[in-house]
Amino acid sequence: MRGQIAMIGSLRGCLAAKRAPIIVLDCNGVGYEVETPMSTFLELPAVGEQLFIHTHLHVREDAQMLFGFASLEERALFRSLLKISGIGARLALAILSAMSEADFRRCIEYEDSASLVRIPGVGKKTAERLIIEMRDKFSHPLTRAPVAGGTAANPKTEAVDALVSLGYKLGEVNRLIGTMDLDGKSAEDIIRQALRQAAR
């Protein structure tokens, strides 16, 4: 119907491609391009395998973007973040990529703004707003059921692109990755280690 947009709550299909943070999911011949947080991307199955993913269709005046999550809890947190003034889809994705739901909840409960401001795009005022507005939203622990792990080609380039897309400066990414031994590491391994170093 004109003026209405069909919501897409989940997708099941063959993982046709993945280049962090974007995947392409082939559902009966239709390829859906889906953007994922690193928490989901790092545990995806290999290309060619079946995947079920929870989705959120984000509609703007100039674009429609599809985001994918490994669990309903992760998607619920993403949607809660979008309701906060000043938090857009990109920043919400960066928050989910930088820490687990449980770690984010702990930051809110213990008013740990110092950990929140380490996330690209989150300044002191944004961290304080997150703590105030999210404080009453965690009545139970948030958990995420993992999906099977996988690997990707061109690991260093893919890892750099993924981290830059999350808001990290290229110089900072090069600093984080420059100290690593990359031999035999997949893009997911590099991203995971870089995020751990950035959180210190």
Residues 59 and 28 in one domain: yes
Tokens of 62: 């100039």
Type of residue at 54: H
Inter-axis angle of helices 89-98 and 72-82, nearest 10: 130
**Of residues 100 and 122, which shows the higher confidence score?**
122
CA distance linking residue 101 with residue 63, whole number of Å:
27
The model's pLDDT over 5-41, given as tens digits with 9 standing for 90+, comes to 557 899 999 999 999 899 999 999 999 999 999 989 9
**pLDDT for 109:** 82
User: Beta-strand (E) ranges in 74-152?
Assistant: none
SS3 (DSSP) at 25: strand
Give the separation between CA 41 and CA 35, rounded to whole angstroms.
9
pLDDT at 40: 92
Q: Is residue 41 part of a domain?
A: yes
Question: How far is C-alpha 135 from the geometric centre of its chain's CA atoms?
Answer: 21
24 bridge partner residues: 17, 33
**63 and 84 inside one domain:** no
Of 69, 85, 103, the domain-final residue: 69
Instruction: Write the single-letter amino acid at 176.
Output: L
> Is 180 part of any domain?
yes
Q: Residue length, the chain?
A: 200
Supply the CATH number for residue 17's domain. 2.40.50.140
Distance CA 57, CA 127 (A): 26
Band (pLDDT 50/70/90 cuts) for residue 138 is low
The C-alpha atoms of residue 96 and residue 91 are separated, in whole angstroms, by: 9
Residue 183 structural domain:
155-198
Q: Is the pLDDT of residue 147 over 50?
A: no
For the question of whether the overall pTM of this predicted structure is more than 0.75, the answer is: no
**Same structural domain for residues 77 and 26?**
no
Q: Is pLDDT larger for residue 153 or for residue 191?
A: 191
List the beta bridge partners of residue 12.
52
pLDDT in tens, 56-104: 998 877 888 999 999 988 999 999 999 998 899 999 999 999 988 888 8
* Over residues 113-125, mean pLDDT: 91
The pLDDT tens digits of the residues spanning 44-69 come to: 999 999 999 999 998 877 888 999 99
Q: In the block, which residue shows the tokens 């890892």?
A: 159
Strands of the chain, DSSP E:
10-19, 22-27, 30-35, 50-59, 64-69
Q: How many domains does the chain have?
A: 3
